Structure 1
């Protein structure tokens, strides 16, 4: 039906006008379908995880630290931040709209796997390992090693990823993809942060885990159009013996929606 309407609209137009219209449509189609490619390089980028909650009165300073990376030259190049909101403080009077039971379960698994001593907020992890430097006002830190190149191409709602380790000990066991909400703000009427307006960035809106195959290549469709802009992506691979051995991230376009 759309094709017929376009034909009827353009059949009486001068050739020059028709040519310009065709060029416009071609450019628009090209912009919509153009893939966005992100690569980590071989140097290890550090996944920075924050487990947080709008129902936790001590969490806003940690949220601000994560948000401050928006203005850092190290964003996406050295640190890839992701804020996972947990739901185990919801009973205090405010239900965190970004929280999920899956995020809480994920944090508890870190304790079970020996990567943290207890479950609490705010809790930071660098490269999958607990980092308590926030409470001592220390600067972010991480390993300076070469693990492998992680690459992701995004075209519309289609994601393709590959990972090439520098050596077999850095081979992947799993790929993670997180869609991140940016520039989010919540007015909290109840709970420990009652009366406060809380800004958030790098909020995990959707988190997928894909098992590695022999080729360390993955393909996944994600409905990006259901997310409110602006959004970004974080992706990371777990090694066979260590979590989050490589990561990458960047902003995502929703021009195709």
Structure 2
């Protein structure tokens, strides 16, 4: 067993099982993946494993640029392809590929490379990790998000609310993964830009009907510097299963 695999196993063993209430992660992992990518299923399985750690908000962002090879990804959003490209434009390597993970909006690694992902997670946490505590709760037919005063957003930060499916298994009919059943975890189904937060203590209320998508059963909240076209570091995050 490699050092990275052993370390990850210890992290998961030490992490308590996530409760049905809000989780306050210390790191955000975004996996850019595609049902039409033959090398993606191992990354999808690794993300499912990582998602068990309540200190990590692990999200699946399915992209659509492999649809031409014979299978249209049933979970893909074109905005995810744009987000991945926008991330790449901010980095010196400018690389876009699948499976690719981006950690805290800054660090890129191959999504199926356990050791590379573990290095990125440790680097992100060593650099301070997420510095803004985010509170999110369900209040009837709405979601309420609260943010404390913080100098980290003095120049403004986007507050995103994303409907999420915690688990979805897809029978892939054609293409490079034709005949396979692949399970995806924490699948992002949409993006709502709630506000441009200026670092003041604020609460925001969003009606569930405005953000719900078919199959979504949870919401993820991201606080990210920069802009949609020039995304910067993610400085805060939270995850909330919605229940019935």
Q: TM-score range by the shorter chain?
A: 0.7 to 0.9
Residues 84, 116 of structure 1: alpha-carbon distance in 2 compared, 3 angstrom cutoff: farther
1:143 to 109, 125, 128: 125
Cα distance in 1 for partners of 2:169, 2:43 equals: 15
Residues 116, 155 of structure 1: alpha-carbon distance in 2 compared, 3 angstrom cutoff: farther
C-alpha RMSD of matched pairs (Å):
2.6
1:56 to 31, 37, 47: 37
1:200 to 153, 178, 184: 184
Q: Is 1:243 aligned to 2:233, yes or no?
A: yes
Pairing of 1:187-226 with structure 2 (within 5 A): 187-214=171-198, 215=200, 216-223=202-209
TM-aligned CA deviation for residue 232 of structure 1? 2.2
Residues 225, 105 of structure 1: alpha-carbon distance in 2 compared, 3 angstrom cutoff: closer
Cα distance in 2 for partners of 1:80, 1:93 equals: 31
Residues 219, 242 of structure 1: alpha-carbon distance in 2 compared, 3 angstrom cutoff: same
TM-aligned CA deviation for residue 227 of structure 1? 3.0
Q: For the pair shown, which has the larger CA radius of gyration, 1 or 2?
A: 1
TM-aligned CA deviation for residue 114 of structure 1? 2.8
TM-aligned CA deviation for residue 117 of structure 1? 2.0
Q: Quick check: 2:43–2:112 contact (8 Å CA) kept in 1?
A: no
Cα distance in 2 for partners of 1:115, 1:248 equals: 29
TM-aligned CA deviation for residue 213 of structure 1? 3.9
TM-aligned CA deviation for residue 39 of structure 1? 6.3
Q: Is 1:227 aligned to 2:214, yes or no?
A: yes
Residues 112, 184 of structure 1: alpha-carbon distance in 2 compared, 3 angstrom cutoff: same
Cα distance in 1 for partners of 2:29, 2:181 equals: 24
Structure 1 unaligned segments of length 5 or more: list them. 1-35
Cα distance in 2 for partners of 1:206, 1:221 equals: 15
Cα distance in 1 for partners of 2:91, 2:133 equals: 27
Cα distance in 2 for partners of 1:63, 1:173 equals: 29
Cα distance in 2 for partners of 1:94, 1:80 equals: 28
Residues 115, 201 of structure 1: alpha-carbon distance in 2 compared, 3 angstrom cutoff: farther
